[in-house]
Amino acid sequence: MQKKRIPNIYDVAKTSGVSISTISRVLNAPDKVNPETRRRVISAIDKLGFIPKAEARAHAMKNTNRIGVLTPYFTAPSFVQRLRGVVAALSKANYELVIYPVDSVEHLQAYTSSIPIMRNIDGLIIMSLAIEEKDALRLHDNSMETVLIEYAHPRLNNISIDDVQGGHLVAKHLIEKGHTRVAFLGDIEPPERYAIHPVKSRLQGFKETLASADISLQKKYIVQASYSQDESRQAAYHLLTLSKPPTAIFAASDIQAASVMKVARQLKIRIPEDMAVIGFDDIDMADHMDITTIRQNLDESGRLAAEILLSRIAEPSRPLQHIRLPLTLIERLTT
Amino acid sequence: MQKKRIPNIYDVAKTSGVSISTISRVLNAPDKVNPETRRRVISAIDKLGFIPKAEARAHAMKNTNRIGVLTPYFTAPSFVQRLRGVVAALSKANYELVIYPVDSVEHLQAYTSSIPIMRNIDGLIIMSLAIEEKDALRLHDNSMETVLIEYAHPRLNNISIDDVQGGHLVAKHLIEKGHTRVAFLGDIEPPERYAIHPVKSRLQGFKETLASADISLQKKYIVQASYSQDESRQAAYHLLTLSKPPTAIFAASDIQAASVMKVARQLKIRIPEDMAVIGFDDIDMADHMDITTIRQNLDESGRLAAEILLSRIAEPSRPLQHIRLPLTLIERLTT
DNA sequence: TAGTTTTATGAAAGCGCTTTCAGTTTAGCA
DNA sequence: TGCTAAACTGAAAGCGCTTTCATAAAACTA
């Protein structure tokens, strides 16, 4: 019992007595072939269990039915939720998703310089990454369809939110709740060149609205903390053990809000009675933990990115899209 | 200023004055070409900015440097953490990751029947999915390297945990804490044919150890709840509002434990004073929320799966691996 | 220095499809 | 019945690489 080879299009041609062109046609343009021959071919296909090799197809057609996502920290909840949206849109369209995790500038550069030329994907979504001008141009010049999330470039599609307005919303809410001694915890000095700085804008908006209500955000109430758990906790600890701790903390992300809450629990500080906490993003966990937060529709941003990409791949002449997604405050139990 | 074409190997051959074979050689087996010619070729490559097209390469070499992951609920934290491990291992080896989200049996079947023949990936990781005998055989017969996570088949690699023992650990812990009226919340009747049933085993182990300590787990204290937030919360509500509520709840996953805690919060039930909660998995969130749980090393399972896959792709003669990962109890603040 | 290895290269045959182009039938119509 | 248009189909030319095989040149041997 010899192992039979995986059949190729020539095998099908042989057993159905037509040329390979016809096989290809019944697969890709069935209406262009006589119903009778089509039947014969199909039965041969079924009999042999023929499935066209994806690589060969991609090679001949110069498209891969695959799109890529370039992302840092791809396992952070907010990124995952974006990815969820991307996947939702892609699987409908029968596109595959390949993930390129980025953890250094070199990494990012390597990707942006090789991807458009290697041509192993049809389109690219770049999440929360600052790309250099020359890389953006390379993508554009080599006509690699791209959509940027949380970053913008005039020649590429992009989807973003108004972080400053996000800061406004938070401040407004806290003011309404009667807080006057508030603090901010977030990653305002990202050291990596490739990362972006939405957090600074959130802080800016926060400050602005506070100022307009004559509330000053003192320096000592602004603490730097990277996305990492350790740093967030230390920063939270610092804030919560000040001689005159704030009555409300705006954490620049829900994850960090959760860290604040964890530290508060250790210090027996009740939330929201003793201290209010508000996050940003509205990741799934925020609901689980009843964290008041600013919702940016993460799933939607991913879905939209994918849809824009697919539509431009299908029809490259369509205009560029620069989309700004709305933000809403979701009040739960921590403020 | 005409747009210059993306260069191919022929262009490089022309400008460096050698044949395409030589170009290919300096790229894939540099030591087989004279240092002097190599230098010339390399400078031509740099000058033109040549990068080999991935598809063409894949077509000629019959391997893609890409591995696939078949997974349900790919955005659930536990899956994401497994993926994190996979990605960590792959990016070292310069392999790409493509994700195939599965949400129905048809979906799964379609994948398992076409993937091995389409040959657009070199290897496959199947997470928490029950695959049918014939599909497993197809994968094996078409020599598509595969590793199964949380499921087993004699002809394929697999990685699993001892869910029964997990149940034992939970029961033991609760008994030591002095609980005698305990409950179980989990997805014990998954309706989807393609999903697997580790939760039943956890319940079984839980029961066994309780029984050996003469504690009976009453029917009314075993509640069914799917992975969905709504159902988990309803089930939790039911349990917490019984006339004689349990003093401890074993939730079959951390996410569900979080739901229980959320409901408890609403009902002003203090944890752990009024009621203990223990989860399963030890996802990142468990630490954030200080949930006592059973740790199964999710990241590690993913990393291991990828490593096994890569090693077998490189050396198909290596023996199959059937690995069982250890479980440990992590005590935090909810018990 | 003739004979034998070794090293370096190019020609050409794949890899398995899609698609254009031209030729052959068949159908449509007066 | 003769002529034109429409419908099918096959040959062949890509797509852009890798790799085998043969050959030529260089390097050793005795």
pLDDT, one tens digit per residue, over B185-233 is 999 986 667 778 899 999 999 999 999 999 999 999 999 999 889 999 9
Residue A179 has pLDDT above 60, yes or no: yes
Question: What is the CA A63 to C1' C14 distance in angstroms?
Answer: 22
* Beta bridge partner(s), residue A220: none
Model pLDDT for residues B20-71, shown as the tens digit of each residue: 999 999 999 999 999 999 999 999 999 999 999 999 999 999 999 999 999 9
Residue B254 has pLDDT above 90, yes or no: yes
Residue A168 has pLDDT above 70, yes or no: yes
Contact in structure between A67 and A97 (CB atoms under 8 Å): yes
CB-closest option in A97, A119, A262 to B99:
A97
Contact with chain B for residue A228, Cβ under 8 A:
no
Residue B297 has pLDDT above 90, yes or no: yes
Chain B CB contacts of A51 under 8 Å are 114, 117-118
pLDDT of residue B2: 42
Who's near A192: CB < 8 A, 6+ residues apart?
A: A104, A105
- Report d(CA A192, CA B64) in Å as an integer: 31
Residue A23, CB, strand C, below 7 Å: yes
- Report d(CA B83, CA B94) in Å as an integer: 16
Model pLDDT for residues A237-260, shown as the tens digit of each residue: 999 999 999 999 999 999 999 999
Mean predicted confidence (pLDDT) in B323-334: 97
Residue with tokens 């079959």: B252
Contact in structure between A130 and A151 (CB atoms under 8 Å): yes
Contact in structure between A238 and A222 (CB atoms under 8 Å): no
Structure tokens belonging to residue A61:
């057609």
pLDDT of residue B152: 95
Contact in structure between A102 and A194 (CB atoms under 8 Å): yes
Chain B CB contacts of A87 under 8 Å are 74-75, 99, 101
Burial readout A78-101 (b: 16 or more C-beta within 10 A, e: otherwise): bbbbbbbbbbbbbbeeebbbbbbb
pLDDT of residue B227: 86
pLDDT of residue B190: 67
3-state secondary structure B162-197: CHHHHHHHHHHHHHHCCCCCEEEEECCCCCCCCCCC
Angle in degrees, 0-180, between the axes of helices B254-266 and B77-93, rounded to the nearest 10: 140
Handedness of CA A80, A82, A83, A89 (dihedral sign): positive
Residue A56 has pLDDT above 90, yes or no: yes
Residue B3 has pLDDT above 70, yes or no: no
Omega before residue B30 within 30° of 0, cis: no
Residue A62 has pLDDT above 70, yes or no: yes
Burial of A8 (0-12, 13-18, 19+ CB in 10 A): middle
Q: What's the Rg (C-alpha) of chain A? A: 26
Nucleotides on strand C lying under 7 Å from protein C-beta: 7-12, 14-20
Check residues A204 and A74 and name the one with the higher pLDDT: A204
Ranges of beta strands (E only) in chain A are: 66-72, 96-102, 123-127, 145-149, 157-161, 182-186, 222-224, 248-251, 276-278, 293-296, 322-325, 327-330
Residue A190 has pLDDT above 70, yes or no: no
- Report d(CA A301, CA A278) in Å as an integer: 22
CB-closest option in A54, A74, A75 to B119:
A54
Mean predicted confidence (pLDDT) in A157-172: 98
Residue A94 has pLDDT above 70, yes or no: yes
Check residues A189 and B328 and name the one with the higher pLDDT: B328
Using DSSP's 3-state secondary structure scheme, residue A120 falls into coil
Residue B168 φ/ψ, nearest 5 degrees: -60, -50
Q: Kindly determine whether residue A118 and residue B58, on different chains, have CB atoms separated by under 8 Å.
A: no
> How many C-alpha atoms does B180 have within 13 Å on its Cβ side?
3
Domains of chain A: 9-52 (1.10.260.40), 62-160+298-324 (3.40.50.2300), 163-296 (3.40.50.2300)
Which A residues 39-68 touch B at CB under 8 Å?
49, 51-56, 58-59, 62, 64, 66
- Report d(CA A54, CA B117) in Å as an integer: 9
- As a whole number, the mean pLDDT across chain B is 94
Question: What is the CA B25 to C1' C5 distance in angstroms?
Answer: 22
Using DSSP's 3-state secondary structure scheme, residue A318 falls into coil
Residue A1 has pLDDT above 50, yes or no: no
According to DSSP, the β-strands at B293-296 and B327-330 are antiparallel
Residue B71 φ/ψ, nearest 5 degrees: -150, 145
Burial of B316 (0-12, 13-18, 19+ CB in 10 A): exposed
Residue A2 has pLDDT above 60, yes or no: no
Structure tokens belonging to residue A103:
């953890």
Q: Kindly determine whether residue B51 and residue A118, on different chains, have CB atoms separated by under 8 Å.
A: yes
* Residue A162 CA: distances (Å) to CA of A28, A294, B65: 44, 11, 39
Model pLDDT for residues A260-288, shown as the tens digit of each residue: 999 999 999 999 999 999 999 999 999 99
Residue with tokens 């925020």: A286
Burial of B272 (0-12, 13-18, 19+ CB in 10 A): middle
Ranges of beta strands (E only) in A174-262 are: 182-186, 222-224, 248-251
* Residue B64 CA: distances (Å) to CA of A114, B3, B11, B67: 16, 30, 24, 8
Residue A17 φ/ψ, nearest 5 degrees: 70, 25
Residue A309 has pLDDT above 70, yes or no: yes
Residue B294 has pLDDT above 60, yes or no: yes
* pLDDT over 70, % of chain A: 98
